[in-house]
Amino acid sequence: MQLTDKTALITGAAGGIGRAIAERYAREGARVAVADLDLAAAEATVAEIRANGGRAMALAMDVTDEAVVDAGVERIVAEWDGLDIAIANAGIQHIAPLHSLTFADWRKVLAVHLDGAFLVTSAALRQMYRQEHGGCLIYMGSVHSKLASPLKAPYVAAKHGLLGLCRTVAKEGAKHRVRANMICPGFVRTPLVERQIPEQAAALGISEEAVIRDVMLKDTVDGEFTTLEDIAELALHLAAFPSAALTGQSVVASHGWYMQ
């Protein structure tokens, strides 16, 4: 097992990519805090992890609420005596062309991705800097951290912004033995993606099949979705990597959609 007795906070871990990482980390021996807006779903994820012999706790957490994020990290430290890995994963999408995007929707998407990642970073670093062995931050970026698509301005802007945050944490954190890296998935079939298939079809005036084939997977090398297992594997690799040779990096897993 690669994460024996490590403690991990994963935001947005009640479902989708965050849940897959939580389950994988628990199988590798980590104690996992499953933090999400949706406490009932987070508790269901924790129940599943425990049923499989893992260790986990559910945390009700809106990542845009500073006091709640701080309290969540304090609880992890109180119960598990430290925080080794923090993954800023919670995210939302909003499909609209720029000329009709409201300021409120722009701010909402940026708040969850950027404010949320900042608050998780800040709370995690305060703890990790106190620990002799430091820690590891992982940001859930996207291929949209590297390139743009129409109809997703706030998401693209937020995911590009996360790259800057990740690189800054890598620079500031190094002397405290803190590493920071980012995962940039291509399309993974989670609720976040399932919701946008009909939305994009309506916005672009094409069928849902065409959205998948001609928009989402058009530039992959093989027309395949990236899977939850692919991203969980990468998250494990980044967390378990033994040295600061791997810090400040953004690793793209997208079936060749974006090649850097």
Catalytic residue list: 155
Q: Which is nearer to ligand NAD, 77 or 114 (CB)?
A: 114
Containing 170, the helix (H) or strand (E) segment is: helix 153-173
The amino acid that residue 84 corresponds to is D
Least separation in angstroms between residue 131's CB and ligand NAD is: 25
Instruction: Write out the residues near ligand NAD by the rule CB under 6 A.
Output: 11-12, 14-18, 36-38, 61-64, 89-92, 112, 116, 140, 142, 185, 187-188, 190-193
What is the C-alpha to C-alpha distance for residues 161 and 112, in angstroms, rounded to an integer? Answer: 12
Q: Which is nearer to ligand NAD, 178 or 188 (CB)?
A: 188
Q: Which DSSP category does 93 fall into? A: -
Torsion sign over Cα 252, 119, 18, 7: positive
Closest CA to 121 of 9, 252, 245, 234: 9
Q: What are 229's two structure tokens?
A: 């297992």
Least separation in angstroms between residue 146's CB and ligand NAD is: 11
Least separation in angstroms between residue 76's CB and ligand NAD is: 15
Q: Which is nearer to ligand NAD, 83 or 114 (CB)?
A: 114
Q: Which is nearer to ligand NAD, 123 or 134 (CB)?
A: 123
Residue of this chain nearest to ligand NAD (CB atom): 16
Cα 150 vs. chain centroid, distance in angstroms?
Answer: 22
Place of tokens 């906070």: 9
Least separation in angstroms between residue 61's CB and ligand NAD is: 5
